[in-house]
Amino acid sequence: MELVPTQDEVLALLRETGALQNGHFECLNGLHTDINLETALAMRYHRSAKTLSVGLSRKLRANSELRALIPELSIVSATPAGLPVAYGLCEALRAGQVYWAEKDGRDVPMRFRQFLEPVAGEKVVLVDDLLRSGMLLTEARQLLEARGAQVMALAVLVYQPTPQTRGFGSLPLYYLAKLDATYYADAGSCEFCRRHVPLHQVGMARHVQEHEELVTASPL
């Protein structure tokens, strides 16, 4: 495998580790799809994490502007799920620092952990494991820019566009593989629902639901 793995090599690695799953899934935005990606299942293996992180770092290094900024770059993860990617990139690039944004619920504003605020003029590569809807990456970018940081590029392991994926204008986007999934607007139009294929919620929707169920079940 080369330092920058091909799309087929990346997808094969994700399948082998169980990260790339086929089935019937509901995304946070309500879309139903036939493909789900759980990158943590791949990033738990050091060899896999190294392959993906180094490959993505090579794509970033190919940008001469970013390459010149590497010693002072901040690698910022838009979600805790993107942290293995962020740390892997920082190690491969030998960038300046790593930190992350957090979001405790669907309707809760994104924030940085205490003492991890960016400084004005800070150069940032915004990272996550997956770009699907782009909602959290958009929110993280707005949070960084509101504090004076300059987002130079986006970097994700996998780009899985949906009919509702947000755009990022001229901001460079780097990824190792692109997933073309089938999407249905809702349960009424979903052929998997019509066939009664078991449904799995993915992303924050699942975690929010679990949290709400836990709160409801907790005694006063």
Domain assignments of the chain as residue spans, ordered by start: 7-217
Neighbouring C-beta atoms of residue 54, cutoff 10 Å: 17
Q: Which residues contact 78 (CB under 8 A, 6 or more apart)?
A: 100, 101, 126, 127, 128, 136, 137, 139, 140, 141
Q: What does the block give as tokens for 158?
A: 């996998």
Q: What does the block give as tokens for 210?
A: 């679990």
pLDDT tens digit at each of 220 positions of the chain = 557 899 999 999 999 999 999 999 998 888 999 999 999 999 999 999 999 999 999 999 999 999 999 999 999 999 999 999 999 999 999 999 999 999 877 778 899 988 888 999 999 999 999 998 899 999 999 999 999 999 999 999 999 998 889 999 999 999 999 999 999 999 999 999 999 999 999 865 434 433 333 333 444 4
Structure-token match 């770009």, residue found: 131
Q: Residue 103's pLDDT is what?
A: 85
State the burial class of residue 107 (Cβ atoms within 10 Å of its Cβ: 0-12, 13-18, 19+).
Answer: exposed
In CATH terms, 7-217 corresponds, of 3.40.190.10, 3.30.565.10, 3.40.50.2020, 3.50.50.60, to: 3.40.50.2020
d(CA 108, CA 36) in angstroms, rounded, equals 25
What's phi and psi for 28, nearest 5 deg? -60, -35
d(CA 147, CA 122) in angstroms, rounded, equals 9
Residue type, 69: L
Q: Which residues contact 132 (CB under 8 A, 6 or more apart)?
A: 27, 160, 161, 162, 165, 203
Least Cα distance to 134 among 108, 116, 109, 158 occurs for: 158
* H-only helix segments in 6-115: 7-16, 40-43, 46-61, 64-69, 83-93
